[in-house]
Amino acid sequence: MIDFTGATIGFILMLGMMALGLHVAVAIFLTSVLGAIVYFGPDLLDTFATQLWAVMNDFILTAIPLFVLLGELLMRAGVTQRMYSGLSTWLGRLPGGLLHTNIGASGLFAAVSGSSVATAATISTVALPELRKRGYNERLVLGSIAAGATLGILIPPSVNLIIYGALTGTSIGQLFAAGIVPGLLLIGLFMLSIAIISLLLPGSAGALDEAATWSEKVKSLQHLIPPLSIFVVVMGAIYTGWATPTEAAAVGVLMAVALAAGNKALSISMLHDAFLSTVRTTAMILLIIIAAFYLKFIIGILGVPQAMTSFVAAMALTPLEFIFVLVIFYLILGCFIETLSMMVGTIPIVFPLVLHMGLDPVWFGIFLVLMMELALITPPVGMNLFVVQGVRRTGSVIDVFYGIIPFVGVVLFAVSLIIAFPGIVTWLPYKMF
C-alpha cells in the first residue's frame, strides 16, 4: 500500500515526464508501470493485456470516433460560413453587433465539431477580415472568438464528456444533459458582457447592420436549421431513450452525410479526408485513454484513493474549501498542460476524493470541463489564444491576451455560479433520467 507522499511523488514524476516532452500517454503509462513495479513487482504488468482489449473494444467508447467523424464531416460540409451569415442576420442588431455572432457561431460550430482549435481557426478566418473592415475593436473581436471556441467541450455532444463518463463510470446521457444549461448560461453571459462593454465603450463595436427584414431572417434559417437539427436529433434520441449516445452519434453521422450532399460538398475525396482525420484523432485520444485506464487500475490496487482520502480527511476541509483547492489546482495545471491530458491524467486521483467529499459526479464533470475551458483561454499558454493569433498573422499575441480578459472573468463567474448553485448543472440530468 502506498502512502500520500508516494502518491504525490508519482504524480509529480508524471507531470515531470510530460514537461520534458515525453508523449502524454507514455508519461501516464510509465507512471503506472513504476507504481506497479515498486509496490508489487513486474508480474502485475501482465494485467495490461486484458485491460488493453477491454478498453479498445468498448462500445461506449465507439461514440468517440463517431462523434469525431460527425464533426469532420460537418466541417467539410460547407456549413461554417452559412451558419455565420445566418446568425448575423439574427444577432447583428444587438449592442456589440457581429461580436455576438462570433459567440453564437463559435458555440454552434464548436458543438458540432467538438474541436476548439478547428473552431477558433475557422471562425477567425470568417470573422477577422469582416470585422476589421467594419472598424470593430480588434482586441474584443479576438477575445470573443477565442472564448466562443471553448464552448464546444461543454455543449453536448462533447467527446471530453464521453471520456470523463467512461473513466468515472458516470452516465454519458446525464453528462450531456448537464452540459446544456451551463452551456446556454455561458453563451448568455458572454453576450451580456459584450453588450455591456459595447455600451460602456461606444467605439468598440463597429457600425451595426441595417435591421434584417423578417423575410431575410426566415430565409437565413435555411442555413441554421440543418446543423441545429442534427444537434436536436442526436440529443433527442439520447434523452428519449431511443438510442444510446453511440447509436445517436451514428445517426448524426448519417445526417451529416446527407447535409453535405445537400450542400454539394459530398465527394469520395471529401469522405476520405474526413475518414483519415477521424482515424488519427480517434487513435490520438485512445492512446491516452488506454494509459489512463491502466493508471486508474494500478492506482486502485496501490490504494492511492484511500491514501488521498485519509490525507484530505485529516485536513478536515469542508466541501467548499475542497472545491476551492481544486479550482486553484486546475487553474495552475491548466497553464502548463494540454486540456485533455490534464483531465485524463488527474481523474484517477481526484475523482475518488470528489466522491469522498460527497460531490456529485455529474456536477464534477461539468466543473472539470469549465476548468478546461479556462485552461484554453488563460495566458500565457491558452491554446485558443495562439490559434486566433495564428490566423490573424499581424500584431502581437498580447492583443489577444487583453481581449480575453473579460471572458476569463465571465468563465470564472460561471464557475462560481455552478459552485453556489449546483442545481444549474444537476437539475436537468436528474429530471430527465
Partner 1 sequence: MQPRNSTFAVLEKLVGAVALACGWALLALCALTGYDIVARRLLGHSVQGVDEIGGYILAITASVGFAAALLNRMHTRIDLGLMIMPVPLRAVMNAVAAITLAGFAIFMTEKAWATLMETLEFGARASTPLQTPLWIPQTLWIFGIALFALIATTMAVHTVWLLLRGQFGTLNTQYGPPSIDEETEASLKVTTPHSSADATIKEAMK
Site for partner 1 in 266-305 (CB under 8 A): 267, 270-284, 286-288, 290
Rounded Cα distance, 162 and 67, in Å: 10
Q: Which is nearer to partner 1, 279 or 320 (CB)?
A: 279
- Mask for 186-225, x = binds partner 1 (CB under 8 A): -------------------------------------x--
Residues from 397 through 416 that contact partner 1 (CB under 8 A): none
- Mask for 302-341, x = binds partner 1 (CB under 8 A): ----------------------------------xxx-xx
Cα separation of the two ends of the chain: 38
For partner 1, which residue of 111, 127, 230, 251 counts as binding (CB under 8 A)?
251
Residues from 112 through 131 that contact partner 1 (CB under 8 A): 115, 117-118, 121-122, 125
Residue 29 within binding range of partner 1, rule CB under 8 A: yes
Rounded Cα distance, 105 and 269, in Å: 27
Query: What are the b/e assignments for 239-278, b being 16+ CB within 10 Å?
Result: beeebbbbbbbbbbbebbbebbeeeeebeeebbeebeebb
Q: Which is nearer to partner 1, 19 or 199 (CB)?
A: 19
For partner 1, which residue of 43, 133, 214, 264 counts as binding (CB under 8 A)?
264
Place of cell 442545481: 423
Closest approach, Cβ 135 to partner 1, in A, equals 19
Q: What are phi and psi of 142, to 5 degrees?
A: -60, -45
Rounded Cα distance, 362 and 170, in Å: 7
Closest approach, Cβ 233 to partner 1, in A, equals 11
For partner 1, which residue of 41, 46, 210, 431 counts as binding (CB under 8 A)?
46
- Mask for 338-367, x = binds partner 1 (CB under 8 A): x-xx--------------------------
Query: What are the b/e assignments for 178-212, b being 16+ CB within 10 Å?
Result: bbbbbbebbbebbbebbbebbeeeeebbbeeeeeb
CA dihedral sign, ordered 52, 275, 179, 24: positive
Residue 32 within binding range of partner 1, rule CB under 8 A: no
Residue 91 within binding range of partner 1, rule CB under 8 A: no
CB contact set of 274 (below 8 Å; sequence gap of 6+):
69, 72, 73, 76
Cell of 113: 465539431
Residue 246 within binding range of partner 1, rule CB under 8 A: yes
Residue 30 within binding range of partner 1, rule CB under 8 A: yes
Number of residues that bind partner 1 (CB under 8 A): 87
In this chain, which stretch among 15-23, 140-148, 187-195, 423-431 interacts with partner 1, using CB under 8 A? 15-23
For partner 1, which residue of 127, 159, 387, 428 counts as binding (CB under 8 A)?
387
Chain-centre distance of CA 346, in angstroms? 16
Residue 21 within binding range of partner 1, rule CB under 8 A: yes
> Contact at 8 Å (CB) between 340 and 167?
no
Under the phi-then-psi rule, with left for phi > 0, alpha for psi from -120 to 50, and beta for the rest, what region is 98? Answer: alpha
Q: Which is nearer to partner 1, 196 or 272 (CB)?
A: 272
Residue 25 within binding range of partner 1, rule CB under 8 A: yes
For partner 1, which residue of 53, 210, 214, 316 counts as binding (CB under 8 A)?
53
DSSP 61-123: TTHHHHHHHHHHHHHHTT-HHHHHHHHHHHHTTSTTTHHHHHHHHHHHHHHHH--HHHHHHHH
Closest approach, Cβ 60 to partner 1, in A, equals 9
Closest approach, Cβ 284 to partner 1, in A, equals 5
- Mask for 66-85, x = binds partner 1 (CB under 8 A): x--x--x--xx-x-xxx--x
Q: Which is nearer to partner 1, 61 or 154 (CB)?
A: 61
Closest approach, Cβ 333 to partner 1, in A, equals 11
How would you class 218 by CB atoms within 10 Å of its CB: exposed for 0-12, middle for 13-18, buried for 19 or more? exposed
Alpha-carbon distance values, 372 to 163, 334, 340, 345 (Å): 13, 7, 8, 13
